[in-house]
Amino acid sequence: MAKKNTKIKASSNGSHNQNGTSHQDISLSVQKTYKLYIGGKFPRTESGRYYKLKNSKGKFVANMCRGSRKDFRMAVVAARKAQSSWAGRTAYNRSQILYRIAEMLEGRKEQFITELVELGSTTTAAKKEVQLSIDRLVYYAGWADKYQQIFSSVNPVASSHFNFSILEPMGVVSAFAPEELGLLGLVSIIAPAICGGNSIIILADEKLATPAISFAEVIHTSDVPGGVINILTGLRSELKGHFSSHMDVNAIVYTGDDKQDIIDIEHNAVKNLKRVRVYDLDWYSEAAQSPYMIMDLQETKTTWHPIAHDMTGGGGAY
């Protein structure tokens, strides 16, 4: 613990990259290489590019992978591969896994608080953000086996049919993490998407990328199958076109209020009728968690099932 404190102190002194500020402790701190999270693995970007992440005060934090079009493509392949078996799991099991993510995050609170403070958050705000992120995961863990009952319906029809509407996941979702709250914003987008059986490729915010990749480590130890959640880092401006034009992506979640971005994304989304969802929310608020955010990434399937009037055949269920 003493060592850890030294490290925190060292980084707040502005010498994050080298230790040796303390005369007693001559061991070098080992820096983490932040990589991408694709298909349950942590590859570097295939492009070999990186960008320097600086915090709100302009201090260098880490070199982050500058993810490319091809990284995104690999992530879509992984997400597509993982999606159907994820959707095929029982709602109860998805619930358990979401809860498991919360458990793992709980155990690593301190690390996330440190990282958020490093990016410029106050300690009080960081503590609140991590706690709310855990709560949000538990919230969606609770919804996983309930939203289907709430939003599905049996519909009155005039013919001799049993008519019902049920929800099915959109499939592969691409998303942009909000430009504020590096952990809570990310969790608020990921949780409802996977709760409803989708797989997701999310681009961490450029300036808040370190907790996103640390969160990938949490996911990695939470029984989430590889490929269900994929986290990239890089430049939104460079990747938004690919996120919105890939034909094998079924829905896209945009966060923010840049009018031109939204127009471009909607324009690209037409190619395969991607569903576009735009969120511009206060992620601390109650409004930022809702079963309607699960519903936003669901398709409604309506089925007509014939009812037999004579009891000798047909109908089945009767």
Partner 1 sequence: MNFHSSPIIDQVGLEERAARLMKRSIKKSSKETALKLALNMIDLTTLEGQDTDGKVRQMCYKAMHPHDDLPDLPTVAAVCVYPTFVKTAKQALKGSKVKVASVATAFPAGQSTLDVKISDTRFAVSEGADEVDMVISRGRFLKGEYNYVFDEIAAVKEACGKARLKVILETGELSTLDNVRKASDIAILAGADFIKTSTGKIKPAATPAFTLCMLEACRDHYYKTGQMVGMKPAGGIRTAKDAIRNLVMVRETLGEAWLSNEWFRFGASSLANNIILQLEKIRTGNYHSMDYISID
Give contact residues for partner 1 (rule: CB under 8 A).
73, 76, 242, 245-248, 271-272
**Nearest to partner 1 of 94, 242 (CB atom):** 242
Instruction: Provide the token pair at 106.
Output: 């709980």
For helices 91-107 and 123-143, angle between their N-to-C axes, nearest 10 degrees: 160
Q: Are 318 and 308 in contact (CB under 8 A)?
A: yes
- Rounded to a whole number of angstroms, the minimum distance from the CB of residue 278 to partner 1 is 21
Least distance CB 303 / partner 1 (angstroms): 21
If the CB atoms of residues 76 and 191 are measured against partner 1, the closer one turns out to be 76
Q: Which is nearer to partner 1, 161 or 271 (CB)?
A: 271
CA pair distance 265, 159, nearest whole angstrom: 42
CB nearer to partner 1: pick between 7 and 81: 81
**Measured distance CA(293)–CA(147) in Å, rounded:** 10
Cβ nearer to partner 1, comparing 49 with 127: 49
Nearer to partner 1 (CB atom), residue 95 or residue 245: 245
Q: Where are the alpha helices (DSSP H) in 40-183?
A: 69-88, 91-107, 109-118, 123-143, 147-151
Query: DSSP for 150-199?
Result: HH-EEE--SSSEEEEEEEEE--EEEEE--SS-TTHHHHHHHHHHHHTT-E
Degrees, nearest 5: CA angle 67-16-110: 80
Q: How far is the CB of 61 from partner 1 (least distance, A)?
A: 32
151: number of Cβ within 10 Å: 16
Q: How far is the CB of 73 from partner 1 (least distance, A)?
A: 6
In angstroms, give the least distance from the CB of 227 to partner 1. 16
State the minimum distance, in angstroms, from the CB of residue 80 to partner 1.
Answer: 8
